[in-house]
Structure formats: structure tokens, C-alpha cells
Chains A and B, each alone.
Chain A
Amino acid sequence: MGSYIPSTEEERARMLKTVGMGSPDELFSCIPPEARIHDLNLPDGLTEMEVSARMASLAGENRVFASVFRGAGAYRHYIPSIVTTVTTKEEFVTAYTPYQAEISQGVLQSIFEYQTQICELTGMEVSNASVYDGAVAAAESVLMNVDGRRKKKVLISEAVNPDVLTVVQTYCESRNVPLTVIPMKNHATDPEALRKLLDSECASVCFQQPNYFGILEDAETLIGITHEAGAKAVMNVNPISLGLLKTPGEYGADIACGEGQPLGLPLSFGGPYLGFMATTKELMRKLPGRIVGQTEDTQGRRAYVLTLQAREQHIRREKASSNICSNEALCAMTASVYLAAVGPEGLRRVALNSVSHAHYLAARLSEIEGFALVEDSEFFHEFLMTCPIDPIILNEKLAEQGILGGLPIEGGILWCATELNGKKEIDRLVDLVKEAVR
């Protein structure tokens, strides 16, 4: 109850008098009477005690699973304690975009550190300060090279996350950029199909690594074909996988993008998440969003500022390549603290344990009749497996035991394991699955 207004009624009356008004209503005298309202159909306000109880009750109507074998775009990983400590610091939480560099060096430096880490992770040369999420990062990435004259259209693999595909489709359609989906073969991007679809008008080709089905794409071949046709290669990557996997930079990709949520951000029913984007020096000035750069103050001391701003909407207005203004700064800081906390060895272990748990899980499930890998391709921490019974019924039985099973999709169940799904948990799951299909 109340509205967080510090001033008392008496103080407000005094201020009203200072501005020469007789009643609060006069403050709104510029609003035409036909557009003025005097009441809203809203519930009465609540005290803090009441609202706390209400929100706790809503939170209580959600089921938190102790054991999660589902990914498909949102991944449960261990979050080091220091991550939350840092990202709940009130200065970071309550600051606006760091326009005033002299009182924002902390947040600016943290973004500079984030940009460095994203470049290290992806093997690229330049990173922005983040965009809304991985799907939007993919959309902004494929559109970066469209110039409307020579480079008019874009290609995207059928094997990307379906939400990513829909967002890219939405963005392309509104920009009147023709988008063609590259069909998949054996649940991976078909290089021959790509070769046939490419022509000199293609601005970019986007695929996901590991792809939606967890499969490792033949990135080298796909990028080779893309470059032969004069198009730019966009790799949508899982950042955790880069603890082990060859980087987009090593493959020669032109843009690396992805969903940063696995880097220390909780599942949070889908958001806030973090879209990261990194590219080459050549494409630096086409990169949308905020970028922090290093410079000096008037006394020669190192300082950080928002830079290359002439790319952005507040200066270029209708000629800007993107409209992005607010981004996901605090989520970027979260990812940065996460990467600093786990370090290079920790990240390697997260990746290695995830991939190892996933393979152990796949092997154990394969022991059960009717469960078989749909493809025999190399996969990371997700895989598609057949299921001898209705996957929804299987999941309901698992849910009774506190387990969120894999995601039912066409062709079977998309299972996921991370470092959190240890041997005991997997063995228990397999026992329960055996029981369920008996």
C-alpha cells in the first residue's frame, strides 16, 4: 500500500502552493476532459506483508524439479555462490545505462571484461555489450550483412532451435528480407542442400552448434561452402560447449552469437536471458548494440566509455541498422562473473561433465528396449531418442518422482544432461524409466 512517495501530505500541499496550484487535479488540467479518467478498475493496494504472501503463494504454485533432464534452449547448470553476491550489488542493479562515464567506470569496465571474455570464448575479435536473448542475437546476426543491393537474402538451417527459427523469420519478414530454410538430413544441416541454395545474393548463412538435436554440425564444410559463395557464416553456439569445442573463430565464422543463459543465469521461466554477439574486425561497424571501448581521461588515465555510437539509433535514427537501446547489461555481468569464477579449468569441467553425463545417460537409456538414439552422429549434451510409450505419460510418471524428463518432440524425446545430473541421478532416472515402460 502506498506508492513509495516520501513527501507528506503537508509537504505536497506546500509544493503545490509553490507552483501556484490550488489542487492536485490542476496538475493534469492540460489533459482534455474527454481523455481524463478518475478511477481505475484495479484491486486495492497491498501492504508489503500482504504482497509478499501473495507472491510467495504464486511462486508456490510452480513445481521446482530437483532433477532436470530438459534443455532445448534453457539449461540448468551449477551457479557459483559469488555470482549472486556480485550481481545483487545495489549499484549494479539500480544504475541506468552508463552514459555518464565519470560515475560509471565500474559498470563500463565490467562490460569491457565481458566483451573480452566473449571474444576469448568464441575466438572472435569484437563483441557487443549484449542483446535481448539468443534468438534475437541470431536475428540481428543474419541481418548484419544484408545491404539491400548486392546482398538481399539469408539462409538458416532447419536444425536450429525452433524459437530461434521463428524469431529470425519474424525479423526477416518485417525487413522484407527473403529467408530460406536449409533442409536437414539425419537431423543435421545438409551441406549439399546448402550448396544448391546459395547464390551471390545471399548475405549470410546461419546454423547452430551443437544444433537443436544436440548434434555437432560439420561446421568446417558448412562455412567453406558459405564462403565460396561470398556469404558470411553465422554460428549460433552454446557458450558452455566452447569450454571444449572448436571456436567459431577457429572455424572461420564471421559472426558468433548465442544464448548466454547457461553462463550463470538461472532458468527463470525463460528470462531475463542474454544474447551475445561477436564478430570480426571487418564487420565491427555493422555490429548492433552498445559497445564499450578503452580510452584515456584528460589526465591520461585509462578510462572506459560507450563508443562507436554513431552506429546506434539515438544518433542515426531511421538509418540505424538496429533499434536496440536497453540490452541485458546485468545478465552480461552475470556471465562475466560466472566465467571469472569457474575459470578456464572450471569451464572445461562443466563442458566435459555435461558431455560425459549425456553420453552415460544415452548409453544407459539404450539398455532399455524401445529406447535408441535416432542418429549415430557425434553429440554434445543433448540427444534425440526414441520412446516406446507416449512420452507425455512417461514424463508424468517421472514428474511424480521429482524429475523433469526430456522434451517430447517429433521423433522421440530430446534428452539433456549437464554437470548437475550426476551418475546417481542418471541411474535413478533409468530405473524409473524401466519401471514406467514395463
Chain B
Amino acid sequence: MKLLFEESRPGRGECLIPVCDVPEYALDPACLRSSAPRLPEMAEVDLDRHYTALSKETYGVNCGFYPLGSCTMKYNPRVNEAASSLPGFVQIHPLQPAETVQGALRVLYDTEKLIAEITGMDAMTMQPAAGAHGEYTGLLLIRKYHETRGELAQRTKIIVPDSAHGTNPASAVMAGFSVVSIPSNPEGGVDLQALKNAVGPDTAGLMLTNPNTLGLFDPNILEITKTVHEAGGLCYYDGANLNAVMGQARPGDMGFDCVHVNLHKTFSTPHGGGGPGSGPVGCKAFLAPFLPSSRVREENGKYSLFDPEQTMGRVRSFYGNFLVVVRALTYILTLGRKGIPEASEGAVLNANYMMKRLSEYYTMPYPQPCMHEFVMDIGPLKAETGVNAMDVAKRLLDFGIHPPTMYFPLIVHEALMIEPTETESQETLDAACDALIQIWKEAHEQPEMLHAAPLTKTITRPDDVLAARKPILKYLFDEN
């Protein structure tokens, strides 16, 4: 496909902006750029077709099954999109007087109350723009807590299990902590003894995803949080996998002090090819004074903004990815009291169903019933046939299915992590299982074909090594 810059022709394109209706102001010539930016000059029809062509080379949830583990690629309901495009939400300035944005403030306020109830927390901020941003914000709460108690100099360590997302250790470092990684036990949970050995007077806190990245709920969760609390640390819940337990169990009841949720996972807002997401952070009442500025409060039916007394500052301008919050609120109001637990039940049922069907062929390193996702180990298949997790994933593309998450978690070397979500029918799950079973057979009969997969896409496997060794990160006008 041609790039915009290759399609551009000097002088083309409609003029969208009128000539200035007041005297043109002449800025000091020393302030002006020497030449115009080489932006595309295109007729609208060609521009429109350009993006139609690009959209056809993009696979979204609306194109088919997307069982990407840990990403909760559920269907993005249309009514959420309709709500988030209402002019009353889209065309308001973030610095309008509070009395002119009562509806918007109420969106933030109501969403806070609803997600606080779902997570068992007392207060929230909608400011973080993504999951990792939420992690960072949650860790700053922990930091402020220790700081106000005069213990920050001593409590410098965040404990993270080895099955954690890479964002956890990276966020801990950004929040000024060092990371202690602890191993998983043979059942895939936190190794309690290792945790007990790791905690101490230097413990600032623990970051935990529960269910974890293997799709397993930690049966020792209460003892885990108790152990950390007894050592004087706080417990952070990474809500990446909240879709497994919403309405069934709450991080607040498991002993967690703060939590982030991913609106673009659990609460059905679309992922936009990598964002915008939203990662609201909730906390128990004792951490609320440290939340970022610009929280919303309600008095006598009037909503207004305020800064918590010992606020950490802010992690983003204004109030977060507001239109994403609008979508999530629409979703939560739609599902309500019954629908929220129904969704997690459906997610867990779908995952167990796929796991059951596939376990006749593929190796399940943790064979107990899973929560909303499960991990297959392609290691044994590789030993037998030479076909690895990458080959299986790439072959799935030929079946019109988005591959599972590959090579994660790191503790299973040839991992494929499957998360079907609740919004898929049994037929869709069966078709995916049939495809994976056929691939298993192909691995034994014609492994060479799998190494070359995908076979039916507009490109074959791209050369990642070339891309990284000789980076070309923009169109090179002067060489073309």
C-alpha cells in the first residue's frame, strides 16, 4: 500500500479553511519556519480510499474472534459509542465553570461510585489514561502513605511475582521503588514461603494480579495480603484480570488497599489499535487523601471539583480520558447488578470450555480449572514436531482468528495464553478449537508449512531483526 506521502501531488486537496476575515497578522520573520512541513496534498476521495484500504488491513474485534490473553478483547457495544459521541460530552471545554458541566462531573462521580462498589474500594480517580498509568498512580498512593508516616526512606521495595506483567516492575521503578521478584509455586500461585522470606521492614508493598497471568485465582490470597500487611506493606491489585471475578469477589475483600481497573478491558471500551484506554485507580479510605487532584464531590445535588488535602499532584492534565469513562459508565449501567456477575461467569465458562476441548491435544501446564483465561504450553509439541508457539499463532491467522498472547507469562517458555471473553458464542469457541486442533495435526504432518505461516495474508512474516538493526522510523522524502 502506498504511503500518504507517495500519493501526495503538489496543489491537490480541497481548501477547508477560509481566507482570514481580519487583517493578517505578520509575526516577526525571525519566528517563522523556513519551509512548510511536507504534509500530504490529496484529494478527499483519495484520502478516504487510503484509509479504507488501511482499515481492510487491520483486524479488530468486529472482524472476528480475538482471544488475546490478558487483554480481554470483548465486544465493544455500539450504544457506548453513541453515548460517547453526544455533543454534550464531546464539545465541552475542560475548564468550563462547574455549573455548566454538571452532567460531565456526574459521569465521573457516578462511575467512581459504581467501580468502587465492584472493586470494594472507597474512593477513586479517573485520571490515569491506561493500565500502566494506573499502576504508577496506585504506587504513588503507597509512596505517599509511607512518606506521611516517615517510613519512605526505609520502605523501598515492591514485591512482584515472576508471572507479573512487565508493566508492574517498570511502574514500581518509576514510582521510585526497587523490585523484588518472587517465584511462583508449582501450582502457579504465589510461593508463600518465598513471600514470607521477602517481606520485612523494607517492604513498601506487593503488586498482584489475581487471577494471575496463568488464569489462576490464588487460593492463598487472604494469607498473602495478611503477610504483607503484617510486615507494614500495602497491597496493590492489578485489575488487568478483573473480568474473571467482577461480581464474584472484590479486591477490597481480598485485603487489597488499592487497585486499578482497565476500562478498555473489563468495561468494554474499545482499544483503538493501542489506545486510548483508561486506568482508574481505587483505594481504601485511608489512602484517599493522597489521590490526584481534580476529584469530584457532590453536595446537595451539585457537583464540583476539589483537590484532596495531601494530593500526590497529578498524573495527567484535566480529568483523564473522559469519553472512555462515558463508554464504561454506559456499559455498567446496562449490565447492572445482575449483568456484571453474569459477564464474569460467561468469561470463566468460555475459557474452561475451550481449555477442556483443547486439553485432549495440547499440554496444559496448570491443568486445574481456570478462570477467564488459560495458558497452553507448546513446548512438548515443539519437542515432538519442531513447531513452536509462534508457528501455531501465525497459522491461526490463516483461519481468520487473532492469535492468543504468545510467549507470556515468561515462566512458561512456549506459552500461548487464551482469553475468549464472555461475548463469544459456543460456535465461535468451537471453530477456534477446531482450528487449533487442525493445526496440531498439521504440526505432526507438515511442520514446514507451519514455519512459513501465515500463507493467506497480504504479507508473510516481517523481518523484525532488519527493522531493529536498520531502523527506518519515518518516510524518507529525500531518498524516494
State if A and B touch, Cβ cutoff 8 Å: yes
Q: Which of A76-84, A186-194, A200-208 contacts B (4 or more CB under 8 A)?
A: A76-84
Q: Is the pair B130, A19 in contact by a Cβ cutoff of 8 Å?
A: no
Q: Is the pair B348, A28 in contact by a Cβ cutoff of 8 Å?
A: yes
Residues in A neighbouring B166, C-beta threshold 8 A: 312-317, 320, 325
Residues in B neighbouring A40, C-beta threshold 8 A: 117-118, 247, 337, 340-341
Closest 5 CB pairs of A and B: A270-B318, A59-B88, A45-B336, A61-B103, A330-B272
Given A64-B87, A70-B95, also A271-B60 (CB < 8 A): no
Given A18-B356, A216-B31, also A290-B274 (CB < 8 A): yes
A-B contact pairs, 8 of them (CB 8 A): A42-B118, A55-B330, A107-B54, A167-B316, A290-B274, A297-B463, A307-B467, A313-B166
Which of A16, A42, A245, A268 has a CB less than 8 Å from the CB of B32? Answer: A245
Q: Is the pair B167, A399 in contact by a Cβ cutoff of 8 Å?
A: no
Query: Which residue of chain A lies nearest to B459 when distances are taken between CB atoms in the complex?
Result: A297
Q: Is the pair A340, B271 in contact by a Cβ cutoff of 8 Å?
A: no
Query: Which residue of chain B lies nearest to A177 when distances are taken between CB atoms in the complex?
Result: B176
Query: Which residue of chain A lies nearest to B338 when distances are taken between CB atoms in the complex?
Result: A45
Q: Which of A13-54 contact B (CB under 8 A)?
A: 14-16, 18-21, 24, 27-32, 34-37, 39-46, 48, 51-52, 54
Closest Cβ of chain A: how far from B304's Cβ, in Å?
14
Q: Is the pair A298, B276 in contact by a Cβ cutoff of 8 Å?
A: no
Q: Which of A114-122, A151-159, A365-373 contacts B (4 or more CB under 8 A)?
A: A114-122
Whether, in the assembled complex, A230 has its beta carbon less than 8 Å from a beta carbon of chain B, the answer is: no
Q: Is the pair B22, A327 in contact by a Cβ cutoff of 8 Å?
A: no
Q: Which of A236-278 contact B (CB under 8 A)?
A: 242-247, 250, 259, 266-273
Q: Is the pair B58, A91 in contact by a Cβ cutoff of 8 Å?
A: yes
Whether, in the assembled complex, B285 has its beta carbon less than 8 Å from a beta carbon of chain A, the answer is: no
Q: Is the pair A96, B221 in contact by a Cβ cutoff of 8 Å?
A: no
User: Bound complex: CA of A271 vs CA of B228, how far in Å?
Assistant: 36
Q: Is the pair B39, A339 in contact by a Cβ cutoff of 8 Å?
A: yes
Whether, in the assembled complex, B322 has its beta carbon less than 8 Å from a beta carbon of chain A, the answer is: yes
Q: Is the pair A132, B316 in contact by a Cβ cutoff of 8 Å?
A: yes
Residues in A neighbouring B423, C-beta threshold 8 A: 4-6
Residues in A neighbouring B86, C-beta threshold 8 A: 55-56, 59
Q: Which of A337-382 contact B (CB under 8 A)?
A: 337, 339-350, 352-353, 355-360, 378
Whether, in the assembled complex, B300 has its beta carbon less than 8 Å from a beta carbon of chain A, the answer is: no
Residues in A neighbouring B219, C-beta threshold 8 A: 30, 32
Q: Is the pair B89, A36 in contact by a Cβ cutoff of 8 Å?
A: no
Q: Is the pair A245, B33 in contact by a Cβ cutoff of 8 Å?
A: yes
Query: Which residue of chain B lies nearest to A337 when distances are taken between CB atoms in the complex?
Result: B51
Total interface residues on A, CB under 8 Å, equals 202
Q: Is the pair A100, B402 in contact by a Cβ cutoff of 8 Å?
A: yes
Given A268-B322, A314-B166, also A357-B22 (CB < 8 A): yes
Closest Cβ of chain A: how far from B220's Cβ, in Å?
8
User: Bound complex: CA of A296 vs CA of B118, how far in Å?
Assistant: 47
Whether, in the assembled complex, B475 has its beta carbon less than 8 Å from a beta carbon of chain A, the answer is: yes
Given A31-B217, A86-B48, A113-B4, also A267-B103 (CB < 8 A): no
Whether, in the assembled complex, B186 has its beta carbon less than 8 Å from a beta carbon of chain A, the answer is: no
Task: Give the residue among B20, B133, B312, B326 with the most A Cβ atoms within 10 A.
Answer: B20
Q: Which of B220-275 contact A (CB under 8 A)?
A: 221-222, 245, 247-250, 253-254, 264, 268, 270-275
Which of B97, B276, B293 has a CB less than 8 Å from the CB of A271? Answer: B276
Whether, in the assembled complex, B454 has its beta carbon less than 8 Å from a beta carbon of chain A, the answer is: yes
Closest Cβ of chain B: how far from A399's Cβ, in Å?
7
Q: Is the pair B129, A94 in contact by a Cβ cutoff of 8 Å?
A: no
User: Bound complex: CA of A90 vs CA of B221, how far in Å?
Assistant: 40
Q: Is the pair B475, A59 in contact by a Cβ cutoff of 8 Å?
A: no
Closest Cβ of chain B: how far from A185's Cβ, in Å?
19
Q: Is the pair A136, B315 in contact by a Cβ cutoff of 8 Å?
A: yes
| B358-369 contact mask (Cβ, 8 Å, vs A): 1 or 0 | 000000000011
Q: Is the pair A271, B25 in contact by a Cβ cutoff of 8 Å?
A: no
Q: Is the pair B39, A63 in contact by a Cβ cutoff of 8 Å?
A: no
Q: Is the pair B321, A271 in contact by a Cβ cutoff of 8 Å?
A: yes
User: Bound complex: CA of A57 vs CA of B104, how far in Å?
Assistant: 11
User: Bound complex: CA of A244 vs CA of B30, how far in Å?
Assistant: 11
Whether, in the assembled complex, A98 has its beta carbon less than 8 Å from a beta carbon of chain B, the answer is: yes
Query: Which residue of chain A lies nearest to B100 when distances are taken between CB atoms in the complex?
Result: A63
Q: Is the pair B25, A112 in contact by a Cβ cutoff of 8 Å?
A: no
Query: Which residue of chain A lies nearest to B3 when distances are taken between CB atoms in the complex?
Result: A113
Q: Is the pair A267, B276 in contact by a Cβ cutoff of 8 Å?
A: no
Residues in B neighbouring A216, C-beta threshold 8 A: 27-28, 31
Residues in B neighbouring A18, C-beta threshold 8 A: 353, 356-357
User: Bound complex: CA of A358 vs CA of B15, how far in Å?
Assistant: 22
Whether, in the assembled complex, B434 has its beta carbon less than 8 Å from a beta carbon of chain A, the answer is: no
Q: Is the pair A378, B106 in contact by a Cβ cutoff of 8 Å?
A: no
User: Bound complex: CA of A295 vs CA of B472, how far in Å?
Assistant: 8
User: Bound complex: CA of A425 vs CA of B272, how far in Å?
Assistant: 36
Q: Is the pair B459, A301 in contact by a Cβ cutoff of 8 Å?
A: yes
User: Bound complex: CA of A19 vs CA of B424, how far in Å?
Assistant: 17
Q: Is the pair B315, A296 in contact by a Cβ cutoff of 8 Å?
A: no
Whether, in the assembled complex, B299 has its beta carbon less than 8 Å from a beta carbon of chain A, the answer is: no
User: Bound complex: CA of A72 vs CA of B27, how far in Å?
Assistant: 21
Whether, in the assembled complex, A328 has its beta carbon less than 8 Å from a beta carbon of chain B, the answer is: yes
Closest Cβ of chain B: how far from A265's Cβ, in Å?
10
Residues in B neighbouring A225, C-beta threshold 8 A: none
Task: Give the residue among A42, A96, A173, A341 with the most B Cβ atoms within 10 A.
Answer: A96
User: Bound complex: CA of A108 vs CA of B210, how far in Å?
Assistant: 32
| A136-172 contact mask (Cβ, 8 Å, vs B): 1 or 0 | 1000000000000000000000000101101101110
User: Bound complex: CA of A17 vs CA of B389, how far in Å?
Assistant: 30
Closest Cβ of chain B: how far from A7's Cβ, in Å?
5
Residues in B neighbouring A310, C-beta threshold 8 A: 468
Q: Is the pair B94, A74 in contact by a Cβ cutoff of 8 Å?
A: yes
Q: Is the pair B129, A163 in contact by a Cβ cutoff of 8 Å?
A: no
Given A113-B4, A271-B321, also A304-B462 (CB < 8 A): yes
Q: Is the pair A59, B87 in contact by a Cβ cutoff of 8 Å?
A: yes
Given A18-B356, A344-B39, also A327-B275 (CB < 8 A): yes
Closest Cβ of chain A: how far from B391's Cβ, in Å?
13
Which of A44, A93, A161, A175 has a CB less than 8 Å from the CB of B60? Answer: A93
Whether, in the assembled complex, B179 has its beta carbon less than 8 Å from a beta carbon of chain A, the answer is: yes
Whether, in the assembled complex, A101 has its beta carbon less than 8 Å from a beta carbon of chain B, the answer is: yes
User: Bound complex: CA of A295 vs CA of B461, how far in Å?
Assistant: 10
Residues in A neighbouring B132, C-beta threshold 8 A: 313, 323-326
Query: Which residue of chain A lies nearest to B251 when distances are taken between CB atoms in the complex?
Result: A35
Q: Is the pair A35, B221 in contact by a Cβ cutoff of 8 Å?
A: yes
Given A45-B334, A48-B79, also A340-B47 (CB < 8 A): yes
Task: Give the residue among A21, A95, A292 with the most B Cβ atoms within 10 A.
Answer: A95
Which of B63, B66, B95 has a CB less than 8 Å from the CB of A72? Answer: B95
Residues in B neighbouring A340, C-beta threshold 8 A: 4, 39-40, 42, 47, 50
Given A98-B274, A105-B458, A284-B471, also A58-B336 (CB < 8 A): no
Residues in B neighbouring A107, C-beta threshold 8 A: 54, 58, 273-274
Query: Which residue of chain A lies nearest to B339 when distances are taken between CB atoms in the complex?
Result: A3
Residues in A neighbouring B349, C-beta threshold 8 A: 12, 15-16, 19, 24, 27
Residues in B neighbouring A113, C-beta threshold 8 A: 3-5, 475
Supplied contacts A90-B60, A97-B274, A167-B315, 17 more A-B pairs, CB within 8 Å: A4-B75, A4-B77, A20-B356, A30-B371, A58-B89, A62-B89, A78-B17, A92-B272, A100-B403, A102-B457, A103-B57, A103-B402, A115-B473, A269-B93, A323-B173, A342-B16, A346-B17
Whether, in the assembled complex, A182 has its beta carbon less than 8 Å from a beta carbon of chain B, the answer is: no
Q: Is the pair A41, B317 in contact by a Cβ cutoff of 8 Å?
A: no
Q: Is the pair B107, A350 in contact by a Cβ cutoff of 8 Å?
A: no
Given A51-B79, A327-B130, A328-B275, also A36-B27 (CB < 8 A): no
Query: Which residue of chain A lies nearest to B110 when distances are taken between CB atoms in the complex?
Result: A58
Given A94-B271, A297-B460, A313-B166, also A5-B346 (CB < 8 A): yes
Closest Cβ of chain B: how far from A279's Cβ, in Å?
11
| A416-433 contact mask (Cβ, 8 Å, vs B): 1 or 0 | 000100111010000000
